[in-house]
Homo-oligomer: A and B are copies of this chain.
Amino acid sequence: MAPAIAMGLPTQFTTTRALTRELVAPLSDADATVQSMADASPAKWHLAHTTWFFETFLLRDHLPGYRLFREDWPFLFNSYYEAEGQRIARNSRGVLSRPALAEVLDWRAHVDAAMEPLLGDPAMAPLIRLGIAHEQQHQELLLTDIKHAFFSNPAGPAVWPASDEAAEAPGARGWWNHAGGVVEIGDAGAEFSFDNEGPAHRVLLEPFALADRLVTNGEWSQFIADGGYRTPALWLADGWDWVQQHGISAPLYWHGDEQFTHAGWQSRDPERPVTHLSFWEADAFAAWAGHRLPTEFEWEAIAADHAADGGNQLDAADAPLPQGGDSLFGDCWQFTRSAYLPYPRFRPAGGAVGEYNGKFMAGQWVLKGASCATPRGHSRATYRNFFHPHQRWQFTGVRLARDL
Which residues of A line the B interface, CB within 8 A? 28-36, 72, 75-76, 80, 82-83, 88, 92, 94-101, 149-150, 152-155, 157, 182, 201-204, 206, 232-233, 235-240, 279, 283, 337-339, 341-342, 344-345, 355, 359-363, 389, 403
Are B149 and A403 in touch, CB under 8 angstroms?
no
Q: Tell me the smallest distance from the CB of A150 to a CB of chain B, in Å.
A: 8
Are B97 and A94 in touch, CB under 8 angstroms?
no
Are B344 and A239 in touch, CB under 8 angstroms?
no
With CB as the reference atom, state the residue of chain B lying closest to A148: B95
A88 contact set on B, CB distance < 8 A:
154
Once bound together, how far apart are the Cα atoms of A403 and B346, in whole Å?
A: 10
Are B342 and A337 in touch, CB under 8 angstroms?
yes
Are A363 and B238 in touch, CB under 8 angstroms?
yes
Are B237 and A34 in touch, CB under 8 angstroms?
no
Q: Name the one of B97, B150, B233 contacting A83, with C-beta atoms under 8 angstroms.
A: B233
With CB as the reference atom, state the residue of chain B lying closest to A92: B152
Are A152 and B33 in touch, CB under 8 angstroms?
no
Are B362 and A389 in touch, CB under 8 angstroms?
yes
Are B154 and A98 in touch, CB under 8 angstroms?
no
Once bound together, how far apart are the Cα atoms of A338 and B341, in whole Å?
A: 8
With CB as the reference atom, state the residue of chain B lying closest to A203: B204
A82 contact set on B, CB distance < 8 A:
232-233, 240
Are B235 and A100 in touch, CB under 8 angstroms?
no
Are B97 and A31 in touch, CB under 8 angstroms?
yes
Are B96 and A94 in touch, CB under 8 angstroms?
no
A341 contact set on B, CB distance < 8 A:
337-339
A98 contact set on B, CB distance < 8 A:
28, 30-31, 150, 153, 155, 157
A36 contact set on B, CB distance < 8 A:
95
Are A28 and B97 in touch, CB under 8 angstroms?
yes
Q: How many copies does the complex hold?
A: 4
A361 contact set on B, CB distance < 8 A:
236
Q: From A80, A95, A149, name the one whose CB has the most chain B CB atoms within 10 angstroms.
A: A95
A153 contact set on B, CB distance < 8 A:
95-98
The 13 sampled A-B contact pairs (Cβ below 8 Å) are A28-B97, A28-B100, A29-B29, A30-B97, A35-B94, A82-B233, A82-B240, A92-B152, A99-B155, A201-B206, A235-B359, A236-B360, A239-B362
A363 contact set on B, CB distance < 8 A:
238, 363, 389
Q: Which 10 residue pairs of A and B lie closest in terms of their CB atoms, listed nearest first?
A: A339-B339, A30-B97, A30-B33, A29-B30, A204-B204, A31-B97, A82-B232, A95-B152, A237-B359, A98-B157
Are A75 and B389 in touch, CB under 8 angstroms?
no
Q: Tell me the smallest distance from the CB of A157 to a CB of chain B, in Å.
A: 4
Once bound together, how far apart are the Cα atoms of A279 and B149, in whole Å?
A: 36
Once bound together, how far apart are the Cα atoms of A31 and B80, in whole Å?
A: 26
A97 contact set on B, CB distance < 8 A:
28, 30-31, 33-34, 149, 153, 157
Are A204 and B182 in touch, CB under 8 angstroms?
yes
A30 contact set on B, CB distance < 8 A:
28-30, 32-33, 97-98, 100-101
A149 contact set on B, CB distance < 8 A:
95, 97
Are B339 and A80 in touch, CB under 8 angstroms?
no
A155 contact set on B, CB distance < 8 A:
72, 76, 96, 98-99
With CB as the reference atom, state the residue of chain B lying closest to A75: B154
- Assess A236 versus B359: contact at CB under 8 Å? Given A149-B97, A341-B338, A403-B344: yes
With CB as the reference atom, state the residue of chain B lying closest to A95: B152
Contacts A36-B95, A96-B153, A344-B403 known; 9 new A-B pairs at CB < 8 A: A28-B30, A30-B101, A80-B237, A83-B233, A94-B94, A98-B150, A233-B355, A338-B341, A363-B389
